[in-house]
Copies of this chain bind each other. A is one copy, B any other.
Amino acid sequence: MIQRLFEKCLLRPQDLFPSREELEVVGVFNPGVIDSGGEVVIMARVSEQTRERRSGQVALPRWDIEGGGIVVDWVGEDEIRPIDPRVVEMRETGQTRLTFTSHIRLLRSRDGRILDSFEGLRFDPDNRYEEFGVEDPRITRIGQTYYITYVAVSRHGAATALASTTDFETFERHGVIFPPENKDVVLFPEKIGGEYVALHRPNPRTHFSSPEIWLARTPDFVHWGKHEVLHGGSSLWDSGRIGAGCPPIRVPEGWLEIYHGNRRVPGGVGPYAAGALLLDPENPGVILRRSPEPLLVPEADFEREGFVRDVVFPTGIVERGETLLIYYGAADTAVGVVELARDEILGSL
C-alpha cells in the first residue's frame, strides 16, 4: 500500500438536493474530474430512488425521453427477482431493470479538496439510449475541448456514449461510441501514433474470460477500431473484475493509468481496489509495469459501508506538481479524494 498524503470524503448523498421532490439521492459517486484552468470541475453521477414506498411493490424509475421527466414503473415483488440492491430481473422476460436512475451533476472546487458549491448544472438523459440513466463520466481535455465519456443505460443495454464541451455549460452529444455492453472508457489526452486512443471494457455475455481492458484507436472520436486486449487474465489482486479508471496521464516513463480491479474468490469477487499500469509512451497497447498489489483498498468507513460494500472505484485525476489527486466512487455511495505522490506510485510498480 502507498501513503495517503491527504484523504477526504468529498461528497455524500445528503449533501445534495434531489432533482425532484418525489426522489431521494441514494448515491453520488464515480465522478469525472478535471483541472479546468485553475478550477477543478467535478461531474458526479447522482443516483436517485423514489421517496415513496408501497407495500408489496418495487419502484423501477426510468426517464420518459419523449416527455422529458422521470416516470416510475411499480411492479409487484412477486414479478421480480432481486439480483443485488441496484438490479432486479423481471421474472416473465428475464430482463434486467434498475431500482434507481442516474443523472450527472456538475460541481466546482477551486483547490480540488473543498467543494465551493453543492448545487450545479445537471447533465440529464435525453435519448433512447439513456432511458435508465447516464452514469460514470470520465473527462479528458484534448486541445481546447473537454471530452466526456459516459455510460448510457437503457433497455438496449449499457453502452458508452461521448459528449464534448468547451465551457461545461453547454454540451454536444456525439452518440454511442462503444455498443453494449461496454463501460469504463477513458480517452488519452493526445494523439499517439497518429490517432487518438481509448481504453474500454467490453463485457461479453459468453464468459470466455473475466472482463478485460481493451484499447481502441480513432481518427475523429466517433469511429473506433484497431481493438486489442490490453490487460486481463491476471492472477494477482486484479484477477476478478477490472476496468480503466482515471483518464491516463503522461509521466516521464510513459502513460500512467489508475484502474480498478478485484480478486476472484470462490463464489464471487473481493473488494474493489485501485492499482496502476504504466504503458509504453509510443504504444500504449504495451504494459511496461503494473501494480503487484493495490495502491488503494477500501479502509475508511465510507469506502466500506454503502449501497455496495467495499468499493474504491477511481474515475478522476488532477495533477498537482509532484502529487496526484485521485477521485473515486466509494461504496457506490460517496465521492472520495486522496492525494498520492506520483513517484511513490511509479516506484511501486
Question: Measuring CB to CB, which residues of chain A are less than 8 angstroms from any residue of chain B?
Answer: 87, 89, 93-97, 128, 132, 153-159, 175-182, 200, 202-209, 212, 214, 216-220, 222-229, 232-233, 264
Cβ of B153 and Cβ of A208 under 8 Å apart?
A: yes
B contact residues around A217 at 8 Å (CB)? 223
Give Cα distance in the complex from A212 to B159, angstroms: 13
Cβ of B175 and Cβ of A209 under 8 Å apart?
A: no
Shortest Cβ distance from A132 into B: residue: B208
The residue in A209, A214, A216, A232 that gathers the most chain B C-beta atoms within 10 A of its C-beta is A209
**Min C-beta distance of A50 to chain B, whole Å:** 20
Shortest Cβ distance from A219 into B: residue: B223
Give Cα distance in the complex from A99 to B214, angstroms: 27
B contact residues around A216 at 8 Å (CB)? 179
Give Cα distance in the complex from A89 to B154, angstroms: 29
Shortest Cβ distance from A195 into B: residue: B223
CB-CB under 8 A for A96 and B203, given A225-B177, A229-B156: no
Give Cα distance in the complex from A214 to B182, angstroms: 15
Cβ of A209 and Cβ of B176 under 8 Å apart?
A: no
Give Cα distance in the complex from A260 to B105, angstroms: 42
The residue in A96, A212, A224 that gathers the most chain B C-beta atoms within 10 A of its C-beta is A224
CB-CB under 8 A for A227 and B95, given A156-B208, A157-B206, A208-B158: no
The residue in A132, A153, A202, A219 that gathers the most chain B C-beta atoms within 10 A of its C-beta is A202
B contact residues around A212 at 8 Å (CB)? 156
Cβ of A226 and Cβ of B233 under 8 Å apart?
A: no
List 7 contacting pairs A-B, 8 Å CB cutoff, sorted by A: A95-B209, A157-B206, A177-B227, A179-B214, A181-B205, A204-B205, A220-B223
CB-CB under 8 A for A207 and B95, given A175-B226, A177-B227, A225-B222: yes
